[in-house]
A and B are shown apart, each in its own frame.
Chain A
Amino acid sequence: MTFEVITSSLGQVGSTVLFILVGTILLEILIYLIMGKVLKSRYTLPAMLLGPGIVGLAALIVYPLLWELNLSFTNMSLRRFGDKAEYTWLVCQAADPAAINSWLFDCLLKNYADVFRLPVLKQVYFFPVFFRTILWTFINLVFHLLGGLGLAMLLNRPMRGRALYRTLLILPWAIPQVIAVLAWRGEFNFEYGFPNIMLTQIGLEPVKWLTDPTWNFIAMCMVNIWLGIPFMMVILLGGLQSISREYYEAAEIDGAGGWGQFRNITLPLLQPVMTPAIILGTIWTFNNFNVPFFINQFELETSDILVTALFRAAFQYNRYGFSAAFAFVIFIILLLYSIFYIHVTGTLKEVKL
């Protein structure tokens, strides 16, 4: 039984593993012959050491990306499933010429144009989902940073039971995310969840956490803030502990108060730690699938962010070609954001040797 499962699983990934193995061997031979024997380059060894990584990335990242790009130009759907899919510009040639206003947007880039022209789900269009995703990312990140920094500052001083506090605070991060989110979802039940029981105990109206669009969004944010603070806290605590006490002692002699010390010493010196954490945090939150998908038990389109909308468009509504284009639009947004952020903060300049 288990042996069967293992062999069938191996059979499924076997071709990929084989490709990586054979590709690596071929590449190594090529590099060795061309760079080493013909060009006599001094970079032969580094290139050979990089070889397996290049092949692995090509098989696991570059190839799927190209496959997806190819898919985004097709009309793949349930009726045009798998190898029955055709390229949109080919379909276009057979269509009624009167219906085509622009060859670029109605034929070649039809799926990309449709991301902005048609609802991405049943009712919601791209931009409302996009702005909701930005709002979601912003709210979460602000709270992650404030909460994480606050707790890190509290922990960054000698006190009793520090290890215990730290363990307790890291707990949300340690629980498998899906399990934590599903436990929260149960607690948002209108009649039997603890927030509503507490609200009714103190005489307030219970809240429709799962069915009201606004409250459902707030519920998503609450869960994700709770989940995300530990990561920021640990990273920033590491950063704080690397700041030498001497700076603070010197500042005290110069008469700087607590706020002054925080602004002029702590924040600037935390910057190298904070920036990658912010970039990572933004991309993780922007692309967080589990929390919005599972807290949104009733599949409200008003609670979907870009990634969950993408999942639904592809796997619930079977708009494969469209969804591939949609995925690329999201990818490009994140790419531009990362380039912009790195450029503005100039963070990565420091690692130049």
Chain B
Amino acid sequence: MAEMEPVNIILWTKEGEADGGLQFVQSLANAYTELHPNVTFEVVNKEVEALREDFQTAALAGTSPDLLWTVNDHAGPFTAAELIMPVDDLFDLSLYVDAALEAAKLDGKTWGVPIANGNHLMLLYNKSLIEEAPADTDALIAAATDLKAQDIVPLVWNQTEPFWLVPWLGGFGGKVFADDGVTPTLDTPEMVSTLQLLYDLKFKEEVYPAESDYDGSDTLFKEGKAAMIINGDWSLGGYADIFGDDLGVARIPKISGADWPRPYTAGTYFMIPSALEGSDRLATVVDFVKFATSANNQALMIAKLNRLPALKAALDDPLVTSSPILKGSADQMVVGTPMPTVLEMRCNWDAMKPEMQAVLNDTKTPEEAAAAMQQAADACILTLE
């Protein structure tokens, strides 16, 4: 019986321990092992960028993991290097939410099975420190003045990753690509306005601290030292556990004089390494993916992690329709914009990162930074070829 051969599946996930994501992945793996005692799992957590870098390196060395649980824009580099396989023929994709599938499509094929729909940033606030979310940036500045008087940090967010910059760019009506979807457009008036706004909120209005990366922001918010945080749907579960009804979820404040910030939406996806092509482990991996995205487990995910499901059947779950947290999350998605998946997006991310930091460290002006972003992205596009 091939069915009973012992199989060990190595699963790399971007879900971290701090927000309960890793524990959830591990619980799914354990539940599967209970049903199929011959299948064991090694669940490895890697930070999003580390997961991408390590997977590319491991694939080159011929030591890929068996399954990835990651974000959609990894599909770009992974398909360019032919490291993952299309999933169209392996699953009945009609069961999943279209918007989530759309974000994993490239060249007419689907490269990931959606687990959660969203992965978008939003404004989360601690109701014991601030009663309601500021509606726009002017209100944010006003609220910040009050909070600072009480020695509370008004707002924290990850100032190291451009994923936190793109919502504001969208609010000014800017896009990172031209209409062809592959030519970077970073040196634009919209980008300059975005950088200027982030600069002003930091240095003029002192709305957020001098330094904060992901973990630093997360800690300040969890310890009740910061009133608001801009963070993604992946953090909802962890915060709901800590704050309970004190956790408020709202849209990122509207830019006064412009529009709502448009965070990137996509989701989290299972991706299957091409190394599994023709391997007898493939059947096990496919079966586990079906199990992990079944209606029951989607309902568990909604309850535990407060994420919007990617399975159509789970959308009618009363949890989705009644939870204020998920309502807020869904409301933010309304003004979201799909995250580009193409490989060229890597160039945009890598070009934006140092320049955004330079503006936030006060070492470059927004104009200089936007020009440098464009130059770096253009140079990067050339190196892709």
Asked if A315 lies at the interface with its beta carbon under 8 angstroms from chain B, I say yes
Asked if A208 lies at the interface with its beta carbon under 8 angstroms from chain B, I say yes
**Using an 8 Å CB-CB cutoff, how does the interface string of A59-103 with B read, 1 for contact, 0 for none?**
000000000000000000111011010000000000000000000
Asked if B40 lies at the interface with its beta carbon under 8 angstroms from chain A, I say yes
Task: Given A82-B60, A82-B81, A122-B354, check contact A211 B379 (CB 8 Å).
Answer: no
Of the 9-residue stretches A135-143, A159-167, A254-262, A296-304, which lies at the interface with chain B? A296-304
A79, B343: Cβ atoms closer than 8 Å: yes
Closest 3 CB pairs of A and B: A81-B81, A122-B376, A190-B211
Task: Given A81-B82, A122-B376, check contact A318 B77 (CB 8 Å).
Answer: yes
Task: Given A4-B8, A212-B361, A318-B77, check contact A300 B354 (CB 8 Å).
Answer: yes
Asked if A244 lies at the interface with its beta carbon under 8 angstroms from chain B, I say no
Per the bound structure, the CA–CA distance linking A145 and B383 in Å amounts to: 43
Per the bound structure, the CA–CA distance linking A299 and B214 in Å amounts to: 14
A84 / chain B contacts, CB cutoff of 8 Å: 82
Asked if A242 lies at the interface with its beta carbon under 8 angstroms from chain B, I say no
- Nearest-neighbour CB distance to chain B for A123, whole angstroms, equals 6
A211, B211: Cβ atoms closer than 8 Å: yes
Contact of B384 among A79, A119, A298, A301 (CB under 8 A): A79
A190, B379: Cβ atoms closer than 8 Å: no
Task: Given A12-B63, A189-B211, A189-B216, check contact A79 B80 (CB 8 Å).
Answer: yes
Asked if B316 lies at the interface with its beta carbon under 8 angstroms from chain A, I say no
Closest to B213 in A: A297
Per the bound structure, the CA–CA distance linking A25 and B343 in Å amounts to: 48
Contact of B380 among A12, A190, A301, A317 (CB under 8 A): A317
A317 / chain B contacts, CB cutoff of 8 Å: 350, 380, 383
Per the bound structure, the CA–CA distance linking A190 and B220 in Å amounts to: 13
Asked if A144 lies at the interface with its beta carbon under 8 angstroms from chain B, I say no
Task: Given A77-B383, A318-B77, check contact A298 B210 (CB 8 Å).
Answer: no
**Using an 8 Å CB-CB cutoff, how does the interface string of B298-329 with A read, 1 for contact, 0 for none?**
00000000000000000000000000000000
- Nearest-neighbour CB distance to chain A for B135, whole angstroms, equals 29
Contact of B80 among A12, A78, A212 (CB under 8 A): A78
28 contacts between A and B (CB under 8 A): A1-B8, A1-B40, A4-B40, A77-B383, A78-B56, A79-B81, A81-B80, A81-B82, A84-B82, A118-B379, A119-B376, A122-B351, A122-B355, A122-B376, A123-B376, A189-B211, A190-B211, A191-B209, A211-B211, A211-B361, A212-B361, A212-B363, A298-B211, A299-B357, A300-B361, A315-B57, A318-B77, A322-B383
Contact of A298 among B49, B56, B63, B160 (CB under 8 A): B160
**Using an 8 Å CB-CB cutoff, how does the interface string of B55-86 with A read, 1 for contact, 0 for none?**
01101100100000000000001001111000
Asked if B245 lies at the interface with its beta carbon under 8 angstroms from chain A, I say no
- Nearest-neighbour CB distance to chain A for B338, whole angstroms, equals 22
Task: Given A81-B83, A123-B372, check contact A318 B40 (CB 8 Å).
Answer: no
Q: How many residues of A contact B (CB 8 A)?
A: 35
B354, A78: Cβ atoms closer than 8 Å: no
Asked if A55 lies at the interface with its beta carbon under 8 angstroms from chain B, I say no
Asked if A201 lies at the interface with its beta carbon under 8 angstroms from chain B, I say no
Per the bound structure, the CA–CA distance linking A118 and B355 in Å amounts to: 18
- Nearest-neighbour CB distance to chain B for A2, whole angstroms, equals 11
Counting chain B CB atoms within 10 Å of each CB, the highest count among A1, A77, A297, A318 belongs to A318
Asked if B290 lies at the interface with its beta carbon under 8 angstroms from chain A, I say no
Q: Which A residues between 282 and 314 are near B, CB-CB below 8 angstroms?
A: 297-301
**Using an 8 Å CB-CB cutoff, how does the interface string of B351-368 with A read, 1 for contact, 0 for none?**
101110100110100000
A301 / chain B contacts, CB cutoff of 8 Å: 354
- Nearest-neighbour CB distance to chain A for B39, whole angstroms, equals 12
Per the bound structure, the CA–CA distance linking A38 and B361 in Å amounts to: 73
Task: Given A122-B376, A211-B357, check contact A77 B384 (CB 8 Å).
Answer: yes
Asked if B53 lies at the interface with its beta carbon under 8 angstroms from chain A, I say yes
Asked if A210 lies at the interface with its beta carbon under 8 angstroms from chain B, I say yes
- Nearest-neighbour CB distance to chain A for B165, whole angstroms, equals 14
B211, A210: Cβ atoms closer than 8 Å: yes
**Using an 8 Å CB-CB cutoff, how does the interface string of A206-219 with B read, 1 for contact, 0 for none?**
00101111000000
A318 / chain B contacts, CB cutoff of 8 Å: 56, 77, 346
Per the bound structure, the CA–CA distance linking A213 and B80 in Å amounts to: 35
B92 / chain A contacts, CB cutoff of 8 Å: none
- Nearest-neighbour CB distance to chain A for B281, whole angstroms, equals 12
Closest to A119 in B: B379
Closest to B40 in A: A1
- Nearest-neighbour CB distance to chain B for A37, whole angstroms, equals 41
- Nearest-neighbour CB distance to chain A for B162, whole angstroms, equals 12
Give me 7 other A-B pairs in contact (C-beta within 8 A), A315-B53, A315-B57 excluded. Answer: A79-B385, A121-B354, A122-B376, A189-B211, A213-B363, A316-B49, A319-B383
Q: Which A residues between 307 and 347 are near B, CB-CB below 8 angstroms?
A: 315-319, 322
B77 / chain A contacts, CB cutoff of 8 Å: 78, 318
Closest to A9 in B: B63
B343 / chain A contacts, CB cutoff of 8 Å: 78-79
Per the bound structure, the CA–CA distance linking A322 and B376 in Å amounts to: 16
A8 / chain B contacts, CB cutoff of 8 Å: 8
Per the bound structure, the CA–CA distance linking A144 and B293 in Å amounts to: 57
B350, A298: Cβ atoms closer than 8 Å: no
B56 / chain A contacts, CB cutoff of 8 Å: 78, 81, 315, 318
Q: Which B residues between 1 and 28 are near A, CB-CB below 8 angstroms?
A: 6, 8
B376 / chain A contacts, CB cutoff of 8 Å: 119, 122-123
B360 / chain A contacts, CB cutoff of 8 Å: 211
- Nearest-neighbour CB distance to chain A for B232, whole angstroms, equals 20
A298, B213: Cβ atoms closer than 8 Å: yes
Counting chain A CB atoms within 10 Å of each CB, the highest count among B355, B361, B376, B385 belongs to B361
B216 / chain A contacts, CB cutoff of 8 Å: 189
A118 / chain B contacts, CB cutoff of 8 Å: 379
Counting chain A CB atoms within 10 Å of each CB, the highest count among B56, B210, B353 belongs to B210
**Using an 8 Å CB-CB cutoff, how does the interface string of B332-353 with A read, 1 for contact, 0 for none?**
0000000000010010001101
